[in-house]
Structures are given as C-alpha cells and as structure tokens.
C-alpha cells in the first residue's frame, strides 16, 4: 500500500480506535442500540428500503463491510430480517467488544479495497454508509463485486443533480434583448449560465479524514455495463439529521421528531433525493424478485446488451 493511501486508512483506523476509548462518546455508543430514538427510526428507514432483496436472500451467506460500529449492520440485519451476516471492518476495536458482549458471534478484519476472501465467497455483500469513506471507492466496489456471488447492496449519500444555477434577471434581460435584436436585425450573444457547476464539487470532508464520496447512479450503471453484470436497481429516499436526535424519543408528541419527519416529507415532495439504496446484480435477475422490487418502489434502469460478446 502506497503512503498516500496508507495515510487515509491509518486515519480511519485511529478514528475508530480512539472513538471507543473516548469517555465523552460512551453515551453516543449506547444510543446506537436504543430502538426508541429518532436516530434509530432514521436509520431503520435505510434497512427497510432493502426489504425485498433482504427477504429474497435471507437464507444466503452475507458479508457486511465497513461495519466497525460494533457490527451494527449485521445485528440489525439479524433482528429485522433474520439474516446471518459476518461483520467486517478495518478496525477490530468495537467489533471485539461487541463479540465479548455477545452481540455478534464472530467478525473479520478487512480492508474493503483489498478483501482477503476468495472470489464469490459470499452471496451478498452489504455496505451501509461506508463506501463514501474509501479513498479509492471504485476499487472497493470491484472488490465487493469480486467476493459476491449474487449481489452487492449499497446504501449511500446520492450525488446532487448537476445543473447550472440560473440567474433569472440575466435570463429575462437577455430574452428581451433577443426580441429587440430581431426587430433591429442585430445579433447579440445569448445568456449562457456558467458551466463551472458541472465540474466543481462541494467542500465535504468528515472528521475521520475522508472526503464524502457520494454515489452516481449513472456511473454505477456504467460499471454494470462495462463488466456485463446482471443489472442494477435503486430505491431513492431522503434523510435528514439534526443534533440531539440520538437521545430524542421517536414519540408523536416530540417536536424534534416532527421536525425531522416534516423536513423529509418536504424533500420528498420536491422530488430531489439525497440517499439511495442500490442493488448491483451479478447474474440475470430473478423475475419474481424483480416484480417484488418494482412493486416496493425500486427503479430498474434499462440494461443494454453488448452485441460483441
């Protein structure tokens, strides 16, 4: 591993190691297991979004990656769908504690970008809010696809729609000038919004040292076609965080809970989503599963056939 990559993996490892021994974080850790909070409700929506795929493959062999917070993903998959998943992460600190406490049976120390498992060792690989931590996320995705036999499931922040901001005043003024120019037979340059929005990105880094790599559905679909995989499906949803939800009870009378729900509802109505559950299939899709997923709300982009292979 070269030094530039090791720098990021060391930051991630240190962040997890220091977190478990930080006494000021103990109450946060305990809140992750409290099923009555707004934060639990918020994250439970993520797991609910994969219901069709979880139910279809519930008796299969699952691996969770980037599951360093006590193996929470594997625990919740077990509690919600009765799925037995092997949790894995770069750091063993919280996973070992979880095993000692009897929350998980076993775990594996794994770097998502360099998994030690043989090809197709697991039926499904599940990655929940960890893909965006990787310094080389596409390499990580290829590794997940390599060790998965049936599918890779991602739940991640979704890239914002890319469209240049429109200056209404300039647009209206230019439209009036164009009308006048036709009357006096004189050419003027049309108003063209700045295209820098297409290539500039947000300054979005997390305290663990990583850049938040939001997923692009188009780019993931390109990978499916480049590797001639079975297909891709996605379920879009919105998420909203506000300080204090880790300890706020998800009760109808809670003002904070209502604020979270109302904000999510407002974003849903706008039709712009910030989170996505993506399923990448390695093989031809089972039609019964596809029907159930569509009924649930999953979208299946068109799968083009490569005529040269």
Which tokens is 223 given? 């990978």
The pairing of strands 231-237 and 275-281 is: antiparallel
Tokens of 111: 């770097």
Q: Where are the domains of the chain?
A: 3-160+203-296, 162-201
pLDDT tens by residue, 190-219: 656 666 556 777 778 888 888 888 999 999
Work out the widest C-alpha separation in the chain, in whole angstroms.
Answer: 83
pLDDT at residue number 146: 98
Q: What is the pLDDT of residue 171?
A: 64
Predicted pLDDT of residue 172: 72
Tell me the pLDDT tens digit for each residue of 267-279: 999 998 999 999 9
Closest by CA to 103, choosing from 113, 114, 94, is 94
Q: Domain 3-160+203-296, what fold?
A: Rossmann fold (3.40.50)
Nearest CA among 221, 171, 228, 165 for reference residue 194: 165
pTM for the model stands at 0.88
Give yes or no for a contact between 235 and 297, defined as CB atoms under 8 angstroms apart. yes
Q: Is the dihedral of CA 226, 227, 230, 233 positive or negative?
A: negative
281 in Cβ contact with 230 (< 8 Å): yes
Residue 238 has what pLDDT?
Answer: 97
pLDDT given for residue 69 in this prediction: 94
Report residues of the chain scoring pLDDT below 70: 1, 161-168, 170-171, 174, 190-198
Task: Determine contact, residues 126/77, Cβ cutoff 8 Å.
Answer: yes
């Amino acid at each position: 591993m070269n030094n530039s990559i090791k720098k990021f993996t060391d930051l991630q490892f240190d962040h997890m190691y220091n977190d478990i021994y930080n006494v000021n974080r103990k109450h946060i850790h305990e809140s992750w297991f409290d099923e009555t909070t707004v934060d639990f409700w918020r994250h439970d929506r993520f797991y609910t979004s994969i219901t069709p795929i979880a139910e279809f493959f519930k008796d299969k062999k699952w691996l969770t990656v980037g599951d360093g917070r006590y193996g929470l993903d594997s625990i919740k998959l077990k509690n919600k769908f009765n799925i037995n998943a092997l949790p894995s992460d770069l750091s063993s600190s919280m996973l070992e504690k979880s095993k000692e406490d009897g929350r998980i049976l076993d775990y594996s120390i794994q770097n998502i970008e360099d998994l030690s498992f043989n090809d197709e060792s697991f039926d499904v690989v599940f990655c929940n809010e960890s893909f965006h931590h990787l310094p080389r996320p596409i390499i990580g995705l290829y590794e997940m696809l390599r060790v998965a036999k049936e599918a890779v499931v991602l739940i991640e922040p979704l890239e914002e729609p890319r469209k240049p901001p429109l200056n209404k005043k300039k647009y209206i003024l230019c439209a009036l000038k164009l009308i006048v120019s036709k009357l006096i037979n004189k050419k003027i340059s049309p108003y063209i919004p700045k295209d820098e929005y297409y290539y500039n990105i947000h300054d979005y880094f997390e305290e663990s040292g990583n850049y938040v790599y939001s997923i692009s559905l188009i780019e993931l679909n390109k990978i499916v076609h480049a590797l001639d995989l079975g297909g891709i499906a996605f379920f879009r949803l919105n998420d909203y965080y506000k300080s204090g939800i880790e300890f706020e009870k998800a009760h109808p009378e809670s003002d904070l809970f209502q604020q979270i729900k109302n904000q999510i509802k407002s974003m849903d109505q706008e039709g712009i989503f910030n989170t996505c559950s993506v399923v990448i299939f390695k093989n031809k899709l089972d039609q019964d599963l596809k029907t159930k997923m569509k009924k649930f709300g999953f979208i299946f982009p068109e799968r083009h056939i490569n005529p040269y292979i």
